[in-house]
Structure 1
Amino acid sequence: MHTDKSPGPDGFSAGFFQSNWNLVGDVVINATLDFLNNGHLLKEINNTFITLILKIDNPTRLVNFRPISLCNTIYKISSKTLANRLKSHLNFVFSPFQTGFINGRLIQDSVI
């Protein structure tokens, strides 16, 4: 995770966690494991700011903005860990005919 990413609602960037891992690492690991093993996610972790970024100078319409979401870093770590765990099971969940958006499969494979 890039250290210079914008922080989420908790105000802590990835750089903070990387620089202070010796202090906060156990807390992050325990929170992530509790989420993965028991499905418990603290409401303070599952909190996101949505903000608008200018696409052009002097915007006059809503389409001149781009929305971004600022999630807490611990939430990003937990969700990325969950996604990585699920990857190995996706081939058993989706039909072999589902080719788009699955690693190792191409949508062009469906073209006759």
Structure 2
Amino acid sequence: MDSNGNVYNSNEGLLSHPTSYFDYLFSSNGIANTDANLEGVETCITASMNVDLTRAFSYEEMCIALKNMSPLKASGEGGLGVVFCQRFWHIVGKEVASYCIEVSNPGSMSQFRPISLCNILYKIVAKMLVNRFQSILYFCIDETQSVFVLGRLIFYNILAAYEILYFMSKRRLGKLGSFALKLDISKTYDRVE
């Protein structure tokens, strides 16, 4: 069923509705001046950080990424997980390393897959990217966005909200009132803008 209440029962409808839904969700409405959106945002990536982020991956980075991955967490094609690559590195290491370090630019839709369907090689590349970003991520995230800071949990935000609401409900003195606002934002991280 779409947002207008139209029900799709045919194969054609079941194929076209998801396509149009995701086309809308992931397409741009066209922003005339994107510079205005970034006027108040200070640059946090320095030139030297950018050089480090854009340099070619090394064999050592790939080995560190593989070593830091949980051996049984992500199974690959045919059920072979990270543990296979870790255990038989002396046999498959050269081929795995050459693939992960020399990943070509994807050129067709068949080269893109949801993360749950990605094999171990893609997950090693993703881990290499994560490892590289970890060194500079601290400079890019505001201290108020605690969920992204290592060692902090989103649960802390729930505790803070509970304490604030408790304080507001018990406050009896003073002329100024208190006010809390809860906003529901539907998957803002899925939208282009």
Q: Which residue is equivalent to 2:129?
A: 82
CA distance in 2, matches of 1:86, 1:73: 20
Higher strand share: 1
1:46 shift after superposition:
5.2
The counterpart of 1:2, out of the listed 48, 71, 77, is 71
Counterpart check, 1:32 vs 2:79: no
CA distance in 2, matches of 1:30, 1:46: 20
1:92 shift after superposition:
0.8
DSSP-derived class of the 1:88 partner: helix
Higher helix share: 2
CA distance in 1, matches of 2:122, 2:107: 10
1:93 shift after superposition:
0.9
Q: After superposition, give the CA deviation of every residue in 1:34-72 in whole Å (9 maximum; x if it has no partner).
A: 34xxx74698875459xxxxxxxxxxxxxxxxxxx2421
Give the alignment's Cα RMSD to 1 decimal. 3.6
CA distance in 2, matches of 1:31, 1:46: 16
Structure with greater Cα Rg: 2
1:2–1:42 distance in 2 versus 1, CA, 3 Å: farther
Count of aligned pairs: 88
Q: Which residue is equivalent to 2:177?
A: none
Gaps of 5+ in 1: 50-68
Structure 2 residue identity aligned to 1:32: C
Q: Which residue is equivalent to 1:13?
A: 80
1:100 shift after superposition:
1.4
CA distance in 2, matches of 1:106, 1:5: 23
The answer to whether the 8 A contact 1:47-1:71 is kept is: yes
- State the identity as a percent: 33
Counterpart check, 1:102 vs 2:169: no
**What TM-score comes out, normalization by structure 1 length?**
0.54
Q: Which residue is equivalent to 1:92?
A: 139
The answer to whether the 8 A contact 1:99-1:105 is kept is: yes
1:4–1:97 distance in 2 versus 1, CA, 3 Å: closer
DSSP-derived class of the 2:147 partner: coil
Q: After superposition, give the CA deviation of every residue in 1:57-88 in whole Å (9 maximum; x if it has no partner).
A: xxxxxxxxxxxx24211111111121122112
**What TM-score comes out, normalization by structure 2 length?**
0.35
CA distance in 2, matches of 1:42, 1:2: 31
CA distance in 2, matches of 1:23, 1:41: 27
